[in-house]
A and B are shown apart, each in its own frame.
Chain A
Amino acid sequence: MADVYLDYNASAPVRPEAQRAIAEALLHAHGNPSSTHAFGAAARAALARARKQVADGLGAAPDCVVFTSGATEANNTVLRQVTRGAPLPDVHLVTCATEHPAVLEEARALASEGCQVTILPVERDGRLDLERFAAALTPRTRLASVMWANNETGVIQPIAELARRAAAQGVPFHTDAVQALGKLPLALATLPVDYASFSAHKLGGPKGVGALYVRAGAELAPLLRGGSQERGRRPGTENVPGIAGFGAACAVARAELEESQSRHAGLRAQLWAGIHNALPDAVRNGAPEHTLAHTLNVSFPGASGEALVEALDLEGIAVATGAACHAGSTEPSHVLSAMGLPAALGSCAIRFSLGPGIDAAAIARVVGVLPGVVARVRQARAA
C-alpha cells in the first residue's frame, strides 16, 4: 500500500518545476551574481527571474524581496533590529503566544536582554482579539509581530486589520507568513505590513532558502555583515539554485492557488467527516472558518499524540504532533495550550496537513486505518 504523506506544513515535496529550476541554475548559472562577466550576468538573471516570481506570489514589487536562508533568519533579522539605536529598557515589542519559536524564542531572548516584551494571549479559536492587540501598543512599541497562519492549527489571523491597527499607532508590523504563501492569495502591496517572512520548502521549494518582504521605505538593518548583496540588506553570496527553485515553486503555487484551495477544502472535509463518524469524541482544534484549507488539527481523547504519530508511521501514514524537538521527542504544544486547551487534550492532538500529492483515495486510506490505530493506542494507554 502506498505511503501517505500528510505533513506538508513541516515540509513539502519539491515540485518538479522547482527541481528543474534548481538543476538549470546548477548547470547554467554557476557564476557569482556579483561578478562582472557573462557568467555573473547569467546568475543575476536567474536571481532576477526568481525575485519576480516570489514577488508575484507576495503581491509585491520585486525590490521588496530580500532572500535569506529561511524564515528563521528572516524572523530573527526583523526582531533583532528593534534593539538598534535605543536603550533596551525603552524598547517595547508585541507578539503573540502562538508564534513559531523563530519569533517567540527571539522575543524571549530580547526580554532577557532588557527589552519589554508583551506576549498576547489568543482566544479559544486561536485568533488574536483586535482590541486587546491595539490596547497593547504603546508609544514605545518598536514592533508588533503576528503570524499570518499557524503551522500547527492552520488558524489564520486577521492580518489586514491587525496591520491597520498597528499603522494607526505608528507601530511597524511584521508577520511570519510562512504557512500563508501559496495557500492564501497575498497582496502585501495593498496592506500596511512592513515586514513578512517566508520559507521556500513549505510550498514545494528547496530547504535552506526563504525571503523577507520589506515594504518600500521601511528600514532594515542586516543581521549579518560581510557584503552588499540584496542591496545591503543581506550579505553573503546568494543561494542561486535554491532561490531559483523558490521562484519556480512560487510560480506554480500561484497558478494553482484557487484550484488547490477548493480541492484541499474538499479533501479536508472528507477527512474530518471520516474521523468524526468513526470517532465521535474527536475534537477539532482551531476555528474551522478561519483555518487554512489544507490543515486539520484533531485531538483524540485518551490517546497519546506521540504514540499515534509513531503507530501511523508504521502504517505508512506520515502526520505530526504540534512540535517536535530536534532530537525527536514531542514537546507539549504551546499553541494548543495558548488556545486554552487542557493539557490532556493538547497531548493527544495530531496535525494532518495536505498538499498536491494527496487525493481522495489517500484520504480514504487514512480514514480506514485511523480508527483501529486510535483504538489500539487508547487501549494500550488505559491498560
Chain B
Amino acid sequence: MSERWLVAMSGGVDSSVAAALLARAGHEIVGVTMDLGEGSARDFVPRSAKKCCGLPDAEDARDVARTLGIRHYTANYRDEFRAAVIEPFAAEYAAGRTPIPCIACNRVLKFDLLLRRAEALGARGVATGHYARIAPAPDGGLGLFRPRDREKDQTYFLFDLPRATLERVAFPLGDLEKREVRALARELGLVTAEKPESQGICFIPDGDVRAALARLRPDSSPAPGPITAADGSELGTHAGAVGYTPGQRRGLGLSGGPWYVREVRPDENRLIVARADALAARSVLLRDASWLDGAPPTGPVRVAVRHRHKSVLAEVRAEPACALEICFATPVWAPAPGQAAVVYDEADDRLLGGGWITGARA
C-alpha cells in the first residue's frame, strides 16, 4: 500500500538512497532538509554559482529530490537545534563531561520535531538514512536491531528513542551494506553518490572542540590550571581544563609519559592524569536510563560505552539509591562521563536501551 513518508534528507548519500528506496517501493515521499544553522555549516563553502545560500547540503538534497521526482522542503529548526543540542553540549563540557550531541539531535530533532512535521503533512512517519533495523522483538512489539552493515552501525545514537516512536519510523538502509548504498546512488545518478562521509560533530566542522567551546560560552574563558596525578603531585599546567576527555593523551605536554586524562574537574580547573592501567573500569553508573522494554534487563547483556566501541559482556544492576550500575565482565578502558552506555541483548543484536554515564568504578 502506498503511504506518504517524510524522509529526513541531510544532503548525504545515505538519506538520498533511503528516499530512493521508499520511492521505488511505491510510496509518496516528501523530502525535508533541516536547516540547523551552525549544524548545517559542515560543508560551508564560499558562495559560488552552484552553492548559493550557505546551505549547500540542502542544495544537494534538492538536487536528489529532483532526480527522484519527489517533493522537497527545507525547514527552519535553527532555534530548536541550538536549544536542544548545541547549548546542552556546551553545558556538558563546562561540567567536565564529554557529551555526544548526536543522540539528542536524533531524539529531539529527527524523532520528535520532524515526526510532528510528518503528522502535520499527513505522512505515516519519518524515514532516515540511519544504519539500524526495526523488526519485531521477542515480546511481539517492535524492536531496534543492529544493521546488516556492522561497520556503519548507528544504533548507539538511537538508544533513547521511545518505543512508541518505532511505529512511525523507518530505516530503509538497515539491510544494506554501505557499498550497496553507494552503488544504488550511482545507478540512480544521484549527485550525492560519491560524497565523502560526514565526520565528527556537524556544528564543529573543523573539529576544534576547545575553540568551539570558547565561542559558545565566551563567559567561561579558559585559564591555565594544574595537571596533577592521583596522589596530588603536580605534573604540569594546562591552558584550560574544559574540553579534555578521559583517556585523552594528546595535548597534555607532560614529560615521563605516557599520561592519560583520568578526570576533568572544571570547578577546580584541574586535570587528573594517570597511567593507562589506572583507567580501567569494572563498572559505570548511569542516570536517565531508558529501556525499550520499560525495565532494565536482567541477566547477561552486551554494553558499548562509546560509538564504535566493541561491546563487552556485562550485567545491569539496580543500585539502592535508584541509580543503575553496569558491571562489566572484563574491564572497560576510560569510559567518559557524559557518554552513553548502550545495552544490547546477549546476542549483541537487539538494542535494549541504556543511560548516560555519570562515573566509573575501578
Contacts and interface: CB of A to CB of B under 8 A. Distances in A.
Interface in B46-68: 52-55, 58-59, 62
Interface in B114-145: 116-122
A329 B76 contact: yes
* Main secondary structure on B side of the interface with A: mixed
Contacts of B54: 327
A377 B117 CA distance: 8
Contacts of A326: 52-53
A383 B165 CA distance: 13
Interface string A318-338: 000000011111110000000
B237 interface: no
B150 interface: no
Given A306-B75, A328-B73, A377 B35 contact: no
B30 interface: yes
Contacts of B117: 307, 310, 380
Interface residues of A, number: 20
A124 B67 CA distance: 45
A329 B121 contact: no
A325 B119 CA distance: 24
B116 A380 contact: yes
* Main secondary structure on A side of the interface with B: helix
B217 interface: no
Nearest to B123: A314
B181 to A, nearest CB: 25
Contact of A376 (B53, B75, B76, B120): B120
B71 interface: yes
B58 A304 contact: no
Contacts of B121: 307, 310-311, 314
B122 A327 contact: no
B116 A331 contact: no
Contacts of A379: 119
B120 A327 contact: no
Contacts of A331: 76
A383 B53 CA distance: 32
Contacts of A327: 35, 52-55, 58-59, 74
Contacts of B75: 306-307, 310, 329-330
B35 A329 contact: yes
Contacts of A313: 71, 73
A118 B53 CA distance: 28
A304 B113 CA distance: 12
A247 B53 CA distance: 33
A117 to B, nearest CB: 25
Given A307-B117, A326-B52, 12 more contacts: A304-B120, A310-B30, A313-B71, A314-B71, A314-B121, A327-B52, A327-B53, A327-B59, A329-B55, A329-B74, A381-B116, A383-B119
Interface of B: 4, 30, 35, 52-55, 58-59, 62, 71, 73-76, 116-122
6 contacts: A307-B120, A307-B121, A314-B4, A329-B35, A329-B58, A380-B118
